[in-house]
Amino acid sequence: MELINVQNYIVPDEAKVVETSDNRFILANTEPISYGELKHKCIIPVFSKDNESTISHSEFIDCIGLATEKFFASEKIIHPAIRISHPIKGRIPDAAGKPADALLEEEKTIYYERMAFVYEVPGITSTINGNKLSLSIGGVRAYNSENLYGKKTEEHFKVFIGFKNHVCINLCISTDGFLDDLRVMSVQELFNRVFQLLTRFDAEKQINHLSTLSEYALNEHQFAQLVGKSRLYQYLPPKTKKALNTVVPISDSQISTVGRDYYESKSFCRSESGDIDMWKVYNLFTAATKSSYIDTFLDRNVGSLLFINSLVDHIRDRKQSWFLT
């Protein structure tokens, strides 16, 4: 793998950007932020025992952007959408003891504990049930997963490649396109691992699989049973829960959102007969994951497809499913 220099990769100035990826891929508990603000106005945390710098949020974004541009060399890459949460505020030494409401902007410091971003490749698209999907690449960084009080060690990242549904800005991510615990010591190692992920990801395979979901459906009774048993799941005895070999990927409140949107979603609600196909059910789940914290968002999104796959196995192959029987 060639050596790379992320410092030479520059995300364009926002003032010159014509198009930016939609930042509604996650909503609750987060705020949008510009790349420029993240890069130039946020301090970079260090490992306190040796004062070694962490890989900054902007370096992470730059690294994924460079890998994406190199792999999809003939494609246009849309400016990344970025969302952050959990601000860690501070102040410079000269402002010690000064009342918070009297602080000047130049006396304040800040960084964000958690950050997620998405690049979009608009030239690689497909359509499922009238929904346009475009290839998307991104990642999540959460400093709360690092021991910043110790010496520099491997840093943790989550990286994905999958598709974004333009109807609802839901991400469609499978296990094949997800690195859930990527640990690296350097930006170079991060680039290499991300490039390997892009190389082995089969976009056509994922689209073909997602397309089959609309071939299967639940009736109103089955959907009600699914929602009810998903709510009961957390109360099952551990032994019973383990025997199911299926995990409900989203929280109790998110299951309630799925139930509400079965009736109210403009794009993925039930039919007049009460039936709902599994593509719509999948999108109800991925929409619900958007109320997650940044550090759990991708895991719940990927888990949603695994969960839906288990339901399809029951419908298609008559495999046992506690949630539908």
Q: What phi and psi values does residue 66 have, to the nearest 5 degrees?
A: -65, -45
Return the pLDDT at 130: 95
Domain that holds residue 223: 216-317
DSSP category for residue 270: -
- CB contact at 8 A, 137 and 121: yes
Return the pLDDT at 20: 74
Q: Total structural domains in the chain?
A: 2
Return the pLDDT at 11: 59
H or E segment and range at residue 47: strand 46-47
Return the pLDDT at 303: 97
Cα-Cα-Cα-Cα dihedral sign, residues 289, 27, 133, 191: negative
Return the pLDDT at 213: 97
Pick from 183, 209, 235: which residue ends a domain?
209
Low-confidence ranges of the chain (pLDDT < 70): 1-19
* 119 and 198 both lie in a single domain: yes
* 198 and 229 both lie in a single domain: no
* 234 and 174 both lie in a single domain: no
* 252 and 122 both lie in a single domain: no
Q: Note whether residue 325 is domain-resident.
A: no
- DSSP readout, 56-123? PHHHHHHHHHHHHHHHTTTS--EEEEEEEEEEEEEE-GGGTT--GGG--GGGEEEEEEEEEEEEEEEE
Entry pTM: 0.92
* 156 and 297 both lie in a single domain: no
